[in-house]
Amino acid sequence: EPEVTQTPSHQVTQMGQEVILRCVPISNHLYFYWYRQILGQKVEFLVSFYNNEISEKSEIFDDQFSVERPDGSNFTLKIRSTKLEDSAMYFCASSVKGEQYFGPGTRLTVT
């Protein structure tokens, strides 16, 4: 069964460094999403992406964040200058229209 994959599973970075989290959505899906879950808190929407542009973003998704679909298969989330409070589990999801399929997540630890 097709699935969403994410790499790496765990990323440790120093405050102020740039990180890129990678996702490979299901191949025929057209809509892409990033969510995050800070430890002990709820899963929060960050951004949705369709037709090579952002369709919706939350107030969390400020200028430090960007998304890109650099080729036909990858969908990336870049954090330009990480802060301690960016430490969280980041989930990628994709959909045709409707049901969102989630990846296993990347745990980002900012030290």
Partner 1 sequence: AQSVTQLGSHVSVSEGALVLLRCNYSSSVPPYLFWYVQYPNQGLQLLLKYTTGATLVKGINGFEAEFKKSETSFHLTKPSAHMSDAAEYFCAVSDKNTDKLIFGTGTRLQVFP
Decide whether 15 or 30 has the Cβ nearer to partner 1. Answer: 30
Decide whether 74 or 101 has the Cβ nearer to partner 1. Answer: 101
Decide whether 7 or 44 has the Cβ nearer to partner 1. Answer: 44
β-bridge mates for residue 109, sequence order: 12
Contact residues for partner 1, defined by CB under 8 A: 4, 31, 33, 35, 41-45, 48, 55-56, 58, 91, 93, 95, 98-105
CA-based nearest residue to 60, from 40, 39, 83, 76? 83
- Angle at CA 88, nearest 5°, toward 86 and 91? 115
CB of 52 to partner 1, least distance (A): 16
Residue 30 in contact with residue 97, Cβ under 8 Å? yes
